[in-house]
Amino acid sequence: MEIIAKLSILADAAKYDASCASSGVKGRNSLGGKGMGSSEGMGICHSYAPDGRCISLLKILLTNFCIYDCRYCINRKSSNVQRARFTAAEVVELTLDFYRRNCIEGLFLSSGIIQSSDYTMEQMVEVARSLREDHDFRGYIHLKTIPDAAPELLALAGRYADRLSINIELPTQQGLQQLAPEKDANQIQTAMGDVARFIQIAKDEGRSQAARSIVSLPGAQRVRRAKAPRYAPGGQSTQMIVGADDSSDAAILQTSSGLYGGHQLRRVYYSAFSPIPDASADLPLQAPPLLREHRLYQADWLMRFYGFAHQEIVLPGSAGMLDLEVDPKLAWALANRQHFPVNLNLAPKEWLLRVPGLGVRSVQRLLLARRGRSLRLADLQQLRTATAKVLAFVELTDYHPRRADLESPMLRQQLLQRMNNGVVQQKHSGMRLPDTGLSAKTAQLSLFDGW
Amino acid sequence: MAMKKETSSDASNAASSVLSSEFLVIELEQPDDFDGFRQAAKVLLALRVEPHAVRWRFCQPLTKQMQAQDLFAADEAGSVVGRALTPDALEQLPLPPAQPLRLGKSQLSTMRLACCHILEGRFALCYRWLYRLQADPRLRLDALDSDWREIERLAKAAGREIHKMHAFVRFRPVPGTETPADAQPMQMAWFEPEHHVLRAASGFFRRRFPNMRWAILTPQCSVYWDLEQLLMAPGSTADQAPGPDAGEQLWLTYYRSTFNPARLKEQAMQREMPRKYWKNLPEAQLISELVAGARGRTQRMLQI
Ligand code: SF4
């Protein structure tokens, strides 16, 4: 089969995986090397598909042949799709070619399982090895590991890859049993635990090496510190399919929260179940719940950056589901009005972060500015945030909302209306956030010498 | 606080004779000449020259032609030329002793970025903010000051353009550019940035592709990496860059296949990949076809 035909099959088969990020690796370039590639921390989206998703990596399967029969998967044994298989060398060539054209940040390689889990994993590791060792490739590599592959292979994979992921697939064990009977929830958790452990070991070694000072004997050649072996510096991530089984949002967030805490996962991706060609009969026949997926991402942000616990995000009386009409932070504020208004001049950071419409960056700015003077309504306008939302919940030197307005049963409707009038934009994960440019802590430089 | 020019020392006497005219014209070398700006600002601040008394102008990239639109009205032009100064010339002035102005590192890089913006008044804005800062050091921490917010807005736009340039530059091999020393053809890209960001964006490509000869052409200026150094050259036209090659088909195939028709979200795409970039992105030619076919493809998937 021609390479172009394989590419179209094996990229098509990989498109249901939501992960795309190429971030989390700092300061690597090809200066002084023989190959190419760099990574400057935040990842770059080189293109966008008409589905709005970022194209950052060459996301393909090594093969879509599979000995398993997971119901939600287009590559399952019983599916009628056309099959193909890349050789390791072909994947390496494609990655280098796309990279040279500046189309991608690197490779995201996944695979159906052929022969055995170990055999498949070995092939994937070989691709990563060849890129790193034969071609001195310093771009991003993300390997989707196979949970029941041997731990030695897992250990090897992490030496070449920037990120490893193991898909949890479904939020509950029952869901997994029902839709992916050959997969074992315990094994998935064990493999995640192994990866987390390897990452920790590599980190500790790096740290203790940096701390150890080197004493050279007089006249001896300068001793160079051996580099600590790196292991998946971009951390570990996973993906959960949303809407293929009947798990509630509460169950999903609980599982995520457990993963962030238990295995220090960098990201959990939520992938709205997508209808697939030749679908299995026990799957829902419906368009993917994209809005639900979006709300889950917002809720996930609240857990990771805003100090919310998973239990409080899904409100009592909602049957475990997030509000589709308003974002989770606003929904929480509306249900907990006794805590508002928050005084922007006095309240601690945790409470500023709970104000609907105030993001992490805005909060930073407000905290900084209020050190020098008191905050006024005009300052809020400078932030260009969703002012309508914010104003309902805050107090400023020259602005005091009326209690009656805050307690009014009409508040939700009013806010919805006002938000519809202004455009509320959603941020994309791959976008660089602007620096505030102001920090009391950064070193002070003279305007005049060596900026 | 009122600013008074010191008149007692010799230094400021010499300086104030230069400054006796109503305003000064500072000539920068490039539209993104931040170092020149900084050099000039240092002297101007030491002399307490008020912002409205300074006019900034800058040369067209890589030529010594003054940018026409930045010269003032024709009747003013004659009187301006005699008093135009380069940052280097300004440096020669004897200066009264002055307190150095201290700023945060990230403030400096924000200002540097803002000066790549296409806005005419970018240097004037930055100078005004520095001048105000000198008068009132508390401004340094005022994240909500309107001049500072404007500087940030410019920096953000220029920064976004740099980021998009890193993302959307597409190299194509130039056939016949193989050399005895380097068997690989040179890789060349055509790009049309809205702001003056080519220089600021180039370092990234140097760190990423040090072992490949590459060039990026833009209408204003071009940059070329010869495996040892970055060379700046005058602007080009689109036809000086290579057209699509056979290998590009692979990329188009990938773009087509990785799109999931069941998740069509055109607006989200356009927010991150605005139309102004489409004409130079090979894959963008596929967008309308993919969008048009999405509904039908999804329906077929749902029917089976
Ligand atoms: S093991 Fe992976 S590729 Fe195979 S059927 Fe299950 S999900 Fe699909």
pLDDT tens digits for range B35-89:
999 999 999 999 889 999 999 988 765 554 444 444 343 334 334 444 678 888 8
Exposure string for A298-337, b = 16+ CB within 10 A, e = fewer: bbbbbbeebebebeebbbeeeeeebbeebbbbbbbbbeee
- How far from the centroid of its chain's Cα atoms is residue A305's Cα? 13
pLDDT value at residue A279: 73
Q: Is the CB of A70 under 6 A from ligand 1?
A: yes
pLDDT at B219: 93
| Neighbouring-strand partners of residue A213 | none
- Judged on CB neighbours under 10 Å (0-12, 13-18, 19+), A23 is buried
Q: Please answer yes or no on whether B141 and A50 come within 8 Å at the CB atom.
A: no
User: A367, exposed or middle or buried, with CB in 10 Å at 0-12, 13-18, 19+?
Assistant: middle
Residue B182 pLDDT > 90: no
Task: Name the residue among B151, B260, B272 with its Cβ closest to that of A15.
Answer: B260
Q: Please, what is the angle between helix A151-160 and helix A117-129, to 10°?
A: 20
Q: What is the pLDDT of residue B4?
A: 41
B187-223 as b/e: b if 16+ CB within 10 A: bbbbbebebbbbbbbbebbbbbbbebbbbbbbebbbb
Q: What pTM did the predictor assign?
A: 0.84
Contact of A266 with chain B, judged by CB distance below 8 Å, is answered with no
3-class SS at A199? helix
Are B58 and B35 within 8 A, CB to CB?
A: no
Task: Check CB contact of A374 with chain B, cutoff 8 Å.
Answer: no
Query: Would you state the pLDDT for residue A290?
Result: 81
Would you say how long chain B is, in residues? 304
Q: Does B264 touch chain A (CB under 8 A)?
A: yes
Nearest CA in chain B to A59: B258
Tell whether A7 is within 8 A of chain B (Cβ). yes
pLDDT value at position A225? 53
Q: What's the pLDDT at B66? A: 43
Of the candidates B124, B130, B126, B119, which has an alpha carbon nearest to the alpha carbon of residue B52? B124
Check residues A282 and B24 and name the one with the higher pLDDT.
Answer: B24
Q: What are phi and psi of A46, to 5 degrees?
A: -80, -20
Encode pLDDT of B118-144 as tens digits: 999 999 999 999 999 999 988 888 888
Q: How wide is the angle at C-alpha B246 spanned by C-alphas B244 and B252, nearest 5°?
A: 75
Q: Pull the structure tokens for residue B256.
A: 């087509």
Residue with CA nearest ligand 1 atom 1: A68
> What is the per-residue pLDDT across B227-252, written as a single tens digit (0 to 9) for each?
999 999 989 999 999 999 999 999 99
Minimum CA distance residue for ligand 1 atom 6: A70
pLDDT > 90: what percent of chain B?
Answer: 60
**Are A149 and A121 contacting, i.e. CB atoms less than 8 angstroms apart?**
yes
Q: Which pLDDT belongs to residue B71?
A: 39
- Please report, to the nearest 10 degrees, the dihedral formed by the alpha carbons of residues A24, A28, A30, A34 taken in order: -90
> Closest approach of chain B CAs to the CA of A99, in angstroms?
10
Pick out chain A residues at pLDDT < 50: 423-451
Chain B CB contacts of A344 below 8 Å: none
User: How high is the pLDDT of residue B15?
Assistant: 54
Coil vs helix vs strand at B254: helix
> What DSSP designation does B66 have?
B
Q: Which residues contact B159 (CB under 8 A, 6 or more apart)?
A: A432, A434, B113
Q: Which residues of A touch B174 (CB under 8 A)?
A: none
CA distance A123 to A114: 10
What pairing do the DSSP bridges indicate for beta strands B221-225 and B230-234?
Answer: antiparallel
Residue B95 pLDDT class (50, 70, 90 cuts): confident
**N-term to C-term CA, chain B:** 78
Q: pLDDT, tens digit, for every residue of B156-173?
A: 999 999 999 999 999 999
For residue A221, give the DSSP letter.
Answer: P
Cβ neighbors of A46 (< 8 A, separation 6 or more) are: A55, A56, A102, A103, A104, A105, B167, B168
How many angstroms separate the alpha carbon of residue A77 from the centre of ligand 1?
A: 8
Percent of chain B scoring above 70 in pLDDT? 84
- Site to probe by mutation for ligand 1, drawn from A17, A75, A177, A280 as the one with most ligand atoms within 8 Å of Cβ, is A75
Q: Looking at chain B, which residue has its C-alpha nearest residue A284?
A: B302
State residue B13's pLDDT score: 53
Compute φ and ψ for B46, nearest 5 degrees.
Answer: -65, -35
Chain A residue numbers with beta carbons less than 8 Å from the beta carbon of B152 are: 434, 436-437
Testing the interface with A: which of B254, B264, B297 to mutate, by most A Cβ within 10 A?
B254
Spatial distance between the Cα atoms of B106 and B89, rounded to a whole number of angstroms = 29
Angle between the N-to-C axes of helices B146-168 and B198-208, in degrees from 0 to 180, rounded to the nearest 10: 40
- Phi, psi at residue A365, to the nearest 5°? -60, -45
Average pLDDT score over chain B: 84
B241 to chain A, any CB pair closer than 8 A? The answer is no
Measuring from atom 5 of ligand 1, which residue has the nearest CA?
Answer: A76
Which chain B residues are Cβ-neighbours of A30 within 8 angstroms? 207-211
Q: What is the pLDDT of residue A214?
A: 54
Burial category of B248 from C-beta neighbours within 10 Å (exposed 0-12, middle 13-18, buried 19 and up): middle
Q: Is A27 on the interface with B (CB under 8 A)?
A: no
- Pocket residue to mutate for ligand 1, from A65, A70, A117, A188, most atoms within 8 A of Cβ: A70
Whether A33 has its CB under 8 Å from any CB of chain B: the answer is yes
B260 at the A interface (CB within 8 A)?
yes
Question: Nearest by CB to B255, which of A47, A60, A272?
Answer: A47
